[in-house]
Structure 1
Amino acid sequence: MNQKQKAVLIITAVFVGIMMFFPPYVVLNYSQVVIKSGYGFLMDLPPYISENGTVVIPATMNVATLFIQIFAALVVGVLAYLALRK
Protein backbone atom coordinates (compact mmCIF):
# COMPACT_ATOMS: atom_id res chain seq x y z
CA MET A 1 0.00 0.00 0.00
CA ASN A 2 1.52 3.31 -1.06
CA GLN A 3 0.95 6.79 0.40
CA LYS A 4 -1.73 7.75 -2.12
CA GLN A 5 -3.74 4.64 -1.31
CA LYS A 6 -3.50 5.40 2.41
CA ALA A 7 -4.74 8.92 1.73
CA VAL A 8 -7.70 7.54 -0.25
CA LEU A 9 -8.61 5.20 2.62
CA ILE A 10 -8.43 8.01 5.17
CA ILE A 11 -10.46 10.41 3.03
CA THR A 12 -13.09 7.73 2.35
CA ALA A 13 -13.34 6.95 6.08
CA VAL A 14 -13.73 10.66 6.90
CA PHE A 15 -16.49 11.08 4.30
CA VAL A 16 -18.38 8.03 5.58
CA GLY A 17 -18.03 9.32 9.15
CA ILE A 18 -19.42 12.71 8.18
CA MET A 19 -22.31 11.01 6.38
CA MET A 20 -23.11 9.06 9.53
CA PHE A 21 -22.99 12.13 11.80
CA PHE A 22 -25.14 14.23 9.43
CA PRO A 23 -27.66 11.76 8.00
CA PRO A 24 -30.57 12.55 5.72
CA TYR A 25 -33.86 12.98 7.53
CA VAL A 26 -37.48 13.06 6.52
CA VAL A 27 -40.64 14.28 8.21
CA LEU A 28 -43.79 12.40 7.21
CA ASN A 29 -47.31 13.46 8.06
CA TYR A 30 -49.98 11.01 9.13
CA SER A 31 -50.74 10.13 5.49
CA GLN A 32 -47.06 9.24 4.94
CA VAL A 33 -46.53 12.28 2.71
CA VAL A 34 -43.13 13.98 2.94
CA ILE A 35 -43.49 17.40 4.58
CA LYS A 36 -39.85 18.26 5.05
CA SER A 37 -36.51 16.63 4.30
CA GLY A 38 -32.84 17.50 4.46
CA TYR A 39 -29.70 16.77 6.45
CA GLY A 40 -29.18 17.29 10.15
CA PHE A 41 -26.93 16.37 13.05
CA LEU A 42 -27.59 12.83 14.24
CA MET A 43 -28.41 13.83 17.83
CA ASP A 44 -30.59 16.82 16.91
CA LEU A 45 -32.81 16.13 13.89
CA PRO A 46 -35.16 19.09 13.35
CA PRO A 47 -38.88 18.44 13.89
CA TYR A 48 -41.66 19.92 11.81
CA ILE A 49 -43.67 22.53 13.72
CA SER A 50 -46.86 23.84 12.16
CA GLU A 51 -47.31 27.56 11.65
CA ASN A 52 -49.64 27.90 14.62
CA GLY A 53 -47.41 25.66 16.76
CA THR A 54 -50.05 23.06 17.54
CA VAL A 55 -48.62 20.17 15.51
CA VAL A 56 -45.10 18.91 16.14
CA ILE A 57 -43.95 15.94 14.06
CA PRO A 58 -40.50 14.52 14.81
CA ALA A 59 -38.01 13.86 12.03
CA THR A 60 -36.77 10.36 11.34
CA MET A 61 -33.53 9.29 9.76
CA ASN A 62 -33.88 8.22 6.12
CA VAL A 63 -31.91 4.98 6.45
CA ALA A 64 -32.33 3.84 2.84
CA THR A 65 -30.82 7.04 1.47
CA LEU A 66 -28.01 6.88 4.03
CA PHE A 67 -27.12 3.31 3.00
CA ILE A 68 -27.10 4.29 -0.68
CA GLN A 69 -24.81 7.25 0.06
CA ILE A 70 -22.41 5.14 2.12
CA PHE A 71 -22.36 2.40 -0.52
CA ALA A 72 -21.62 4.93 -3.27
CA ALA A 73 -18.81 6.51 -1.23
CA LEU A 74 -17.28 3.10 -0.57
CA VAL A 75 -17.47 2.15 -4.26
CA VAL A 76 -15.75 5.39 -5.26
CA GLY A 77 -13.13 4.85 -2.54
CA VAL A 78 -12.40 1.29 -3.66
CA LEU A 79 -12.16 2.35 -7.31
CA ALA A 80 -9.77 5.17 -6.40
CA TYR A 81 -7.74 2.78 -4.24
CA LEU A 82 -7.44 0.28 -7.09
CA ALA A 83 -6.64 3.01 -9.62
CA LEU A 84 -3.67 4.15 -7.52
CA ARG A 85 -1.89 0.80 -7.48
CA LYS A 86 1.68 0.79 -8.70
Structure 2
Amino acid sequence: MLSVGRDADPSGLGPLPANVEAHRHVPQPAVLAHTDVFVTHAGMNSTMEALAAAVPMVAVPHTPEQRPRPAGRHRHRGARARHAAGRP
Protein backbone atom coordinates (compact mmCIF):
# COMPACT_ATOMS: atom_id res chain seq x y z
CA MET A 1 0.00 0.00 0.00
CA LEU A 2 1.34 3.38 -1.04
CA SER A 3 0.18 6.77 0.17
CA VAL A 4 1.06 9.53 -2.32
CA GLY A 5 -0.31 12.51 -0.38
CA ARG A 6 -3.20 14.87 -0.93
CA ASP A 7 -1.56 16.83 -3.76
CA ALA A 8 -0.72 13.84 -5.96
CA ASP A 9 -3.02 11.75 -8.11
CA PRO A 10 -2.36 8.02 -7.70
CA SER A 11 -3.42 7.41 -11.30
CA GLY A 12 -0.38 9.47 -12.35
CA LEU A 13 1.82 6.56 -11.29
CA GLY A 14 0.61 4.56 -14.26
CA PRO A 15 0.04 0.81 -14.12
CA LEU A 16 1.02 -0.78 -10.83
CA PRO A 17 1.71 -4.44 -10.04
CA ALA A 18 -1.35 -6.38 -8.93
CA ASN A 19 -0.09 -6.48 -5.33
CA VAL A 20 0.34 -2.68 -5.05
CA GLU A 21 -2.37 -0.18 -4.11
CA ALA A 22 -1.88 3.60 -4.32
CA HIS A 23 -4.05 6.07 -2.41
CA ARG A 24 -3.93 9.78 -1.58
CA HIS A 25 -4.34 8.99 2.10
CA VAL A 26 -4.52 5.87 4.23
CA PRO A 27 -5.30 5.53 7.95
CA GLN A 28 -1.70 4.74 8.81
CA PRO A 29 -2.20 3.27 12.33
CA ALA A 30 -4.88 0.94 10.96
CA VAL A 31 -2.62 -0.17 8.11
CA LEU A 32 0.33 -0.71 10.45
CA ALA A 33 -1.76 -3.16 12.45
CA HIS A 34 -1.72 -5.46 9.40
CA THR A 35 1.80 -5.10 8.03
CA ASP A 36 5.16 -6.76 8.55
CA VAL A 37 7.41 -3.84 7.58
CA PHE A 38 6.97 -0.11 7.00
CA VAL A 39 8.92 1.89 4.40
CA THR A 40 8.76 5.46 5.67
CA HIS A 41 10.19 8.92 5.09
CA ALA A 42 11.15 8.89 8.78
CA GLY A 43 8.92 11.78 9.87
CA MET A 44 8.19 11.98 13.57
CA ASN A 45 4.53 10.92 13.31
CA SER A 46 5.30 7.95 11.07
CA THR A 47 8.20 6.89 13.27
CA MET A 48 6.18 7.10 16.47
CA GLU A 49 3.22 5.22 14.94
CA ALA A 50 5.48 2.43 13.69
CA LEU A 51 7.23 2.14 17.05
CA ALA A 52 3.90 2.05 18.87
CA ALA A 53 2.72 -0.72 16.54
CA ALA A 54 6.06 -2.58 16.90
CA VAL A 55 6.46 -2.64 13.11
CA PRO A 56 10.03 -2.68 11.73
CA MET A 57 10.88 0.33 9.56
CA VAL A 58 12.96 1.01 6.50
CA ALA A 59 13.60 4.73 6.95
CA VAL A 60 14.21 6.67 3.72
CA PRO A 61 14.33 10.37 4.66
CA HIS A 62 13.75 12.67 1.70
CA THR A 63 13.80 16.23 3.02
CA PRO A 64 16.67 18.10 4.66
CA GLU A 65 14.90 18.30 8.03
CA GLN A 66 14.60 14.51 8.14
CA ARG A 67 18.17 13.63 7.09
CA PRO A 68 20.32 14.74 10.03
CA ARG A 69 18.44 13.01 12.82
CA PRO A 70 16.38 9.98 11.87
CA ALA A 71 18.96 7.36 12.84
CA GLY A 72 19.63 9.07 16.17
CA ARG A 73 15.91 9.48 16.81
CA HIS A 74 15.32 5.77 16.17
CA ARG A 75 18.27 4.74 18.35
CA HIS A 76 16.94 6.95 21.15
CA ARG A 77 13.76 4.87 21.12
CA GLY A 78 15.72 1.61 21.29
CA ALA A 79 15.58 0.70 17.61
CA ARG A 80 18.60 -0.38 15.61
CA ALA A 81 19.59 1.85 12.71
CA ARG A 82 21.76 0.85 9.76
CA HIS A 83 22.94 2.94 6.85
CA ALA A 84 22.32 1.74 3.30
CA ALA A 85 26.00 0.76 3.03
CA GLY A 86 25.58 -1.53 6.05
CA ARG A 87 27.46 0.70 8.52
CA PRO A 88 25.77 1.13 11.92
TM bucket, shorter chain: under 0.3
Structure number with the higher helix fraction is 1
Structure-2-length-normalised TM-score: 0.21
Structure-1-length-normalised TM-score: 0.21
Structure label with greater radius of gyration: 1
Higher RCO (Cα < 8 Å, 6 or more apart): 1
